[in-house]
Structure 1
């Protein structure tokens, strides 16, 4: 019995289930063939090209350790920031280099996403890449070192914007083939002509139709918009900054809502692979969101008492 597949009568006993699994989820080029059976097989696809084989296990371990360290640093800084009672003033210039959205970690995240299709042994980025991006977005939203001088602040935030956009694009290059293969596997039947040959009732689209999450999404653009408004408020001075503060605050709140929606969606609708690892990752993201909500509630309560 196959773990995910229905009882396809055309699935050959000699085929290796793990090999078929890898072919579908790492395929980057699906070719459509003409078919004579317009009723039962109007669209016939086979995988023409896949990503190269995975990196050694050591690479996955290093990525796992880096991700865990980045999360723990973010969690500790958020908790200390919450306990300090001083809001964002607690974040000093040195601590921001340790955050996932900082000038050290964010380039590493971009590099990891760029090589993501081959990091798929014990820490599959096709499953956990979205959680890493959400962690970087939360880091960028939560901390704003407004004490820097205008040029230094502008350069730092602009580099964060560029890094987030690049990370989102590279993440899509990892997850879109994964979601396409998931759709091809779950919404098709094997034709029996080859290991990846499937019959479909409708055309196969990039990213599939079963999971609609994208790294290059409304969530990313809202976070980028918030960062851009921070730059505008910083360089415009006190005279004009007030005109943008309301819009910035509104966009920040909506960005947090979108991040929460993405996290809930990915928890409920991701392909059923590495369930425990994926649940732990998104559980950690929910914890960061909860702490941010708690911090905002404490700030509002403190302001009303003053």
Structure 2
């Protein structure tokens, strides 16, 4: 697929320029330089890419990240399905199972590492496209499974490490997607000036992250999930004295699920139109987990009502 087919036509685009190289330059640019211009009417803002991320890793790295993500998702999916049966829940959701989850102490550090090197993981399984779905998977994992049977110190340490991991993952993800969305805005809302391959004219100033896609890893969704995890620690330490905190925590959990669903819908509808099938698979998997959670909650409430 020609990656620039969906872009506007530019009369100043030079035939000798490599479209794939320009595409990579825009989406991996980390420093846009603005130049003074004499044409304040047609080109009030003139930009060119001053610096880009290093070249991509080999496809083998992408394959390893793909395998890690697929394994983490399948583990989450299986545990969610098995937890829908109260009889099997005690067997499946033992303490050892939490280490296999995306938010666990094994997978989460590897996901953070993948996000940290995300700008260079950009061939078979690009983090710029799949990173948001992976972060949503981590958030769903953290919300869905709460090993409250642990002792206070052990439980506090585990949840606190999960909070730290989520915050680090969100920051590293933003270092991947913000240049990606900035380049998308520079391509879609500008015209090539013809001065160089990345030189564009704009009617308004270019901002970090652009204005076309407003998703951020460090967002209200992440903050609410972190808030839920912190409240779990407080409720665990408070024990029977938690009182209203338990109800407030439950309310916060439901609102977190709503925000995750909103993010998923938004990213499905508003992401840059590349790697479409990969995006459909990634966010389709997230939608399935959300649907299973809703079904599980509905069955729980129906069971309690009948009893």
TM-score range relative to shorter protein = over 0.9
Alignment partner of 1:105 is 2:107? yes
Aligned mate of 2:117, from 115, 118, 121: 115
Give CA deviations for 1:132-181 in whole Å, capped at 9, x if unaligned. Answer: 00000000000000100000000000000000000000000000000000
The secondary structure found in structure 1 opposite 2:49 is strand
**Which residue does 2:276 correspond to in 1?**
275
8 Å contact from structure 2 (residues 37, 46) kept in 1:
yes
Moved over 4 A (4+): 85-90
8 Å contact from structure 2 (residues 29, 53) kept in 1:
yes
Provide the rounded CA distance (Å) in 2 between the counterparts of 1:72 and 1:254: 25
State the shift of 1:83 in Å: 2.6
Provide the rounded CA distance (Å) in 2 between the counterparts of 1:203 and 1:126: 23
Provide the rounded CA distance (Å) in 1 between the counterparts of 2:10 and 2:143: 47
Q: Give the alignment's TM-score, normalised by structure 2.
A: 0.97
Provide the rounded CA distance (Å) in 2 between the counterparts of 1:213 and 1:153: 32
**Which residue does 2:80 correspond to in 1?**
78
State the shift of 1:14 in Å: 0.2
**Which residue does 1:49 correspond to in 2?**
51
**Which residue does 2:154 correspond to in 1?**
152
State the shift of 1:59 in Å: 0.2
8 Å contact from structure 1 (residues 88, 144) kept in 2:
no
The secondary structure found in structure 2 opposite 1:94 is helix
**Which residue does 1:224 correspond to in 2?**
226
Provide the rounded CA distance (Å) in 2 between the counterparts of 1:119 and 1:203: 29
The secondary structure found in structure 1 opposite 2:242 is helix
State the shift of 1:87 in Å: 6.2
Alignment partner of 1:63 is 2:65? yes
Q: Per the alignment, do residues 264 and 13 of structure 1 end up closer, same or farther by CA in structure 2, a change over 3 Å counting?
A: same
State the shift of 1:86 in Å: 6.8
Provide the rounded CA distance (Å) in 2 between the counterparts of 1:71 and 1:56: 24
Provide the rounded CA distance (Å) in 1 between the counterparts of 2:252 and 2:219: 15
Provide the rounded CA distance (Å) in 1 between the counterparts of 2:220 and 2:49: 31
Provide the rounded CA distance (Å) in 2 between the counterparts of 1:65 and 1:178: 23
Mapping of 1:116-155 within 5 angstroms?
A: 116-155=118-157
Count of residue pairs brought into register by the alignment: 305
- Root mean square deviation, CA, Å: 1.2
State the shift of 1:243 in Å: 2.0
8 Å contact from structure 1 (residues 88, 145) kept in 2:
no
**Which residue does 2:14 correspond to in 1?**
12
The secondary structure found in structure 1 opposite 2:62 is helix
Mapping of 1:243-262 within 5 angstroms?
A: 243-262=244-263
Provide the rounded CA distance (Å) in 2 between the counterparts of 1:229 and 1:6: 49
8 Å contact from structure 2 (residues 75, 100) kept in 1:
yes
8 Å contact from structure 2 (residues 82, 89) kept in 1:
no
Mapping of 1:154-303 within 5 angstroms?
A: 154-238=156-240, 240-303=241-304
8 Å contact from structure 1 (residues 84, 90) kept in 2:
no
Q: Give the alignment's TM-score, normalised by structure 1.
A: 0.98
Structure 1 stretches lacking a partner, 5+ long: none
State the shift of 1:5 in Å: 2.0
State the shift of 1:13 in Å: 0.2
